[in-house]
């Protein structure tokens, strides 16, 4: 019986979790990117090989690229988008030349994953990532001051946001802004002013427009990916809902099936993130895995706990609302029917034990993910024995 491949996300030489640390976790592969390269610019073969050689010098392999970031002009299909697509193709050629195979990306406008708190205290004293609609409304309405922002929220949320805004100190408001706009570790931070400018680019772009732009982008790159034997894996929206007035197009099974059917090339596939998709109470994750089948090229395994208002925190990997046993069982059934190992990584983890005293990348401290990896490895072994 074939198991899923155990990998670990690493943010490069400046990551507080070192490659030597990762060797001790049980992971065998690395998931990383050249975060120092500005969005849209070419990843050179020399830089790719340098990173690959560094990883291999520690007895690990570079299994998945996460992510080759897509320039905003591609998403909006504006400006110099054709040139950005050509640069993207050049990066893909260089990655294939270096022996990389799985390429993760996302099509989220402006902001990557979004949270409103990075240190939500769990009952055991560990710290988790948290998303709260009222705090997002505080940022959106009173800090960002987006036009017509109030219309994006219920009357109750707007009322609670007004109350909370008056209670927050300036320091707390600044902290909230930093969390919402945190982005990917290792990449340049944005300001409120730059976020306003970026949001303005989407004033006339609706969900259907963004979806069409994604299809166009995939039509341009998938023939090359097929030729180079690359597997693309689009990451779902996180959270899987419209935020800050921006359209979201990778939220549920309808979106995912549209993406793989609209561009049926073999390279076009999914990064199945149980945490992102699991934040939508309408998503049945085991059924989604069944329907997507071999179009799943990579997977993130983590869990969330939701409340009736749609807020959520990131729970233990085997806790939360998502049935990790059922999801992993379906993934392992798929694994038996495909030639390449499907990589998974323990996505996010609580800041806990000694890591509480350290500076860590939010969601990417070592010990919380080590616990998650150990739990998933054990669950995987049990499922494989039962199969």
Q: Of the listed 153, 202, 235, 315, which one is catalytic?
A: 235
For tokens 């401290």, the residue is 365
Q: Of the listed 273, 315, 316, 350, which one is catalytic?
A: 273
Q: Of the listed 140, 348, 355, 366, which one is catalytic?
A: 348
> Is-catalytic flag, 317?
no
CA 17 to chain CA mean position, Å: 19
> Is-catalytic flag, 39?
no
The Cα 135–Cα 336 span in angstroms is 44
The Cα 48–Cα 314 span in angstroms is 32
DSSP letter at 181 equals T
Q: Of the listed 300, 315, 350, 366, which one is catalytic?
A: 300
Q: Of the listed 153, 202, 364, 366, which one is catalytic?
A: 364
HSE (side-chain half, CA atoms, 13 Å) at 16: 15
Q: Of the listed 135, 237, 347, 355, which one is catalytic?
A: 347
> Is-catalytic flag, 209?
no
Residue 229 tokens read as: 């034997």
> Is-catalytic flag, 350?
no
* 230: nearest Cα among 115, 123, 92, 376: 92
Beta carbons of 157 and 137 less than 8 angstroms apart: yes
Residue 373 tokens read as: 């990896």
Which residues, listed in sequence order, are joined to residue 271 by a DSSP beta bridge?
298
239 in helix, strand or coil?
A: coil
> Is-catalytic flag, 71?
no
Residues acting as catalytic residues: 235, 273, 300, 347-348, 364
């Amino acid at each position: 019986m074939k198991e899923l491949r155990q990998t670990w996300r690493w943010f490069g030489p400046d990551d507080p979790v070192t490659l030597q640390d990762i060797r001790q976790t049980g992971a065998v592969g690395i998931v990383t990117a050249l975060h120092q390269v500005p969005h849209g610019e070419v990843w050179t073969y020399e830089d790719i090989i340098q990173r690959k050689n560094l990883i291999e010098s520690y007895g690990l392999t570079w299994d998945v690229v996460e992510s080759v970031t897509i320039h905003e002009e591609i998403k909006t299909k504006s400006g110099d988008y054709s040139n950005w697509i050509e640069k993207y193709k050049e990066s893909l050629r260089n990655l294939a030349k270096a022996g990389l195979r799985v390429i993760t990306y996302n099509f989220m406008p402006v902001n990557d994953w979004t949270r409103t708190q990075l240190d939500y205290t769990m009952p055991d004293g560990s710290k988790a990532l948290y998303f709260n609609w009222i705090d997002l409304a505080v940022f959106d309405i009173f800090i960002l001051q987006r036009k017509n922002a109030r219309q994006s929220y219920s009357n109750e949320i707007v009322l609670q946001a007004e109350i909370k805004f008056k209670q927050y100190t300036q320091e707390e408001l600044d902290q909230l802004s930093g969390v919402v706009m945190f982005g990917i570790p290792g990449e340049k931070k944005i300001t409120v002013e730059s976020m306003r400018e970026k949001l303005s680019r989407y004033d006339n772009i609706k969900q259907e427009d963004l979806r069409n732009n994604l299809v166009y982008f995939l039509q341009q790159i998938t023939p090359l990916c097929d030729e180079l034997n690359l597997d693309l894996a689009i990451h779902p929206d996180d959270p899987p809902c419209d935020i800050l007035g921006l359209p979201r197009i990778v939220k549920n099974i309808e979106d995912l099936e549209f993406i793989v059917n609209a561009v049926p090339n073999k390279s076009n596939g999914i990064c199945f993130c149980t945490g992102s998709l699991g934040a939508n109470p309408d998503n049945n994750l085991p059924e989604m895995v069944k329907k997507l089948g071999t179009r799943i090229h990579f997977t993130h395994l983590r869990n969330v706990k939701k409340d009736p208002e749609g807020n959520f925190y990131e729970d233990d990997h085997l806790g939360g609302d998502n049935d990790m046993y059922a999801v992993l069982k379906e993934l392992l059934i798929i694994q038996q029917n495909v030639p390449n190992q499907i990589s998974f990584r323990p996505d996010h983890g609580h800041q806990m034990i000694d890591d509480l005293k350290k500076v860590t990348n939010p969601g990417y401290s070592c010990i919380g993910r080590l616990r998650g990896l150990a739990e998933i490895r054990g669950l995987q072994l049990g499922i494989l024995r039962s199969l």
